[in-house]
């Protein structure tokens, strides 16, 4: 603590920042690690594991279920977002690889996040309630119908997507893992080892200034767009025919960006504690707006706060996980620049509603950074979304509950909707029994209502 305060004072007096990248202690530094220069002088460390695929036929990997994605998204000036699902809508639980049932076309109507405060304000000119007519008199004629509202923006989506099972034996499948602020690729160590043993090709980069990647000394190097271009270069370098993106926290935004930019290459997406479908904007009243030297003095307190808020428990096991994962081991300059650079106005509700890729949402019930209602709202906006809540997990749920997370992800990778029942109809009794069995078996799973 005293050392941090002394270094912070020297930092303020000399005007120099502390070391921008910390050395990474690894017993096997060359075990699957590569260094990729995404731009001149901008090098990212990437863990890339390519398992040896056995010489089997991959014809089953080309077959899948074709789902018709047809939506009409209308944004009104009063803040309403109306989503009309006109194509195939999937409704399924992600457990034991259960097939998805088709729901009839439906309409989802929500209010924009930015309009909540305005919509809750009282009407300046309230209309008095109608006075009931005296007995014996005719009721007055109903008022004329209001003129139809003019939409502010309308987006039409009409495409077909093939959703198939992605097995580790398929050589055309690649898994991309993207960490968030203050993390590193080492937070995915359990997932990388698990899926590489199953035969999957896995790719996990260190963001700029994190882990063993280079740390530029300019704040512009850590904006959302700069980091997104880094990940675009990594994705284009390692992408296969079918790619699955797995993001955590801030990393979810980059996965959303890539899924929107490359809809034909991104097969499925997993969002772990990513928050709601709102545009990113840095907070002006955050502690991370303080000077870097002050943050350097407060670094022990920040690390303890992250441990307390990021894990459901704060025992020796969690401290060791935090150390092994090299999480929150970044310089104050990088941390401040990362938090100040979270500006992404395009990533609003409509941007997320345009995604047609199947998405699994994983939320730790004890998460103190991301509220539960934000992931629920994300599930309402997305077309093919499944929300799974892990009660004993927090923000770093993939480190706290690696077996549970690995099982959920693997079942989602193998999941494929059964479109053979598209024309079949169930009786009300059959639907009630099926719904009762599903809720009894998976009371923690919350499927999206489309």
Pairing of strands 201-205, 42-49: antiparallel
Helix (H, G, I), strand (E, B) or coil at 132: coil
The answer to whether 221 and 43 have CB atoms below 8 angstroms apart is: no
Q: Which string of b and e fits 240-269 if b means at least 16 CB within 10 Å?
A: bebbbbbbbbbbbbbbbbbbbebeebbbbb
213 classed as catalytic: no
Helix (H, G, I), strand (E, B) or coil at 152: strand
**Which of 296, 363, 395, 410 is flagged as catalytic?**
395
User: How many H helices and E strands in the chain?
Assistant: 15, 15
440 classed as catalytic: no
Q: How far is CA 39 from the centre of its chain?
A: 26
Spatial neighbors of 370 by CB under 8 A, at least 6 apart, are: 249, 273, 274, 275, 363, 395
The neighbour count for residue 65, using CB atoms within 10 Å, is 19
Tokens 């580790």 label which residue? Answer: 168
Tokens 């069995």 label which residue? Answer: 437
The answer to whether 87 and 356 have CB atoms below 8 angstroms apart is: no
* Residue ranges with strand state E in 184-296: 201-205, 242-248, 266-272
Spatial neighbors of 337 by CB under 8 A, at least 6 apart, are: 209, 219, 221, 222
**CA separation for the pair 68, 162 (Å, rounded):** 9
54 classed as catalytic: no
Which strand (E) or helix (H) includes residue 5?
helix 2-14
The answer to whether 66 and 167 have CB atoms below 8 angstroms apart is: no
**Which of 367, 375, 394, 410 is flagged as catalytic?**
367
* Residue ranges with strand state E in 126-165: 151-163
What is the Cα Rg of the chain in Å?
25
**Which of 92, 249, 299, 331 is flagged as catalytic?**
249
**CA separation for the pair 270, 272 (Å, rounded):** 6
Any idea which residues carry the catalytic annotation? 249, 367, 395
């Amino acid at each position: 603590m005293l050392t941090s305060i002394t270094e912070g004072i020297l930092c303020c007096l000399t005007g120099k920042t502390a070391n921008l990248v910390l050395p990474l202690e690894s017993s096997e530094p060359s075990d699957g690690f590569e260094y990729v220069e995404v731009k001149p002088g901008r090098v990212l460390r990437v863990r890339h594991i390519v398992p040896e695929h056995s010489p089997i036929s991959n014809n089953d990997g080309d077959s899948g279920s074709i789902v018709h994605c047809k939506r009409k998204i209308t944004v009104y000036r009063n803040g309403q977002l109306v989503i009309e699902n006109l194509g195939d809508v999937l409704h399924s639980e992600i457990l034991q690889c259960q097939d998805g049932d088709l729901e009839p076309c439906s309409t989802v109507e929500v209010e924009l996040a930015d309009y909540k405060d305005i919509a809750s304000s009282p009407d300046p000119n309230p209309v008095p309630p109608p006075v009931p007519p005296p007995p014996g008199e005719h009721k007055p004629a109903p008022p004329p119908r209001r003129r139809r509202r003019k939409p502010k923006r309308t987006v039409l989506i009409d495409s077909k997507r093939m959703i198939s099972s992605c097995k580790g034996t398929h050589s055309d499948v690649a898994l991309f893992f993207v960490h968030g602020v203050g993390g590193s690729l080492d937070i995915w160590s359990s997932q990388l080892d698990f899926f590489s043993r199953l035969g999957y090709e896995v790719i996990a980069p260190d963001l700029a200034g994190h882990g063993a990647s280079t740390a530029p000394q300019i704040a512009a190097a850590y904006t959302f767009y700069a980091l997104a271009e880094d990940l675009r270069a990594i994705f284009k370098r390692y992408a296969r025919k079918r790619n699955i993106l797995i993001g955590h926290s801030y990393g979810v935004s980059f996965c959303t960006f890539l899924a929107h930019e490359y809809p034909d290459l991104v097969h499925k997406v997993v969002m772990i504690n990513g928050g709601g479908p709102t545009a990113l904007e840095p907070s002006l009243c955050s502690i991370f707006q303080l000077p870097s030297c002050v943050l350097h003095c407060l670094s022990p307190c920040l690390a303890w706060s992250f441990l307390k808020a990021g894990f459901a428990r704060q025992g020796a096991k969690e401290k060791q996980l935090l150390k092994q994962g090299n999480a929150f081991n970044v310089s104050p300059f990088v941390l401040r620049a990362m938090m100040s650079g979270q500006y992404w106005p395009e990533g609003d509700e409509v941007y997320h509603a345009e995604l047609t890729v199947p998405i699994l949402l994983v939320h730790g019930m004890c998460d103190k950074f991301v509220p539960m209602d934000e992931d629920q709202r994300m599930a309402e906006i997305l077309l093919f979304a499944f929300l799974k809540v892990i009660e004993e997990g927090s923000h770093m749920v993939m480190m706290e509950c690696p077996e549970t997370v690995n099982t959920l992800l693997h079942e989602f990778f193998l999941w494929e909707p059964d479109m053979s029942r598209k024309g079949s109809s169930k009786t009300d009794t059959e639907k009630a029994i099926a719904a009762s069995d599903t809720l009894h078996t998976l009371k923690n799973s919350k499927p999206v209502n489309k």
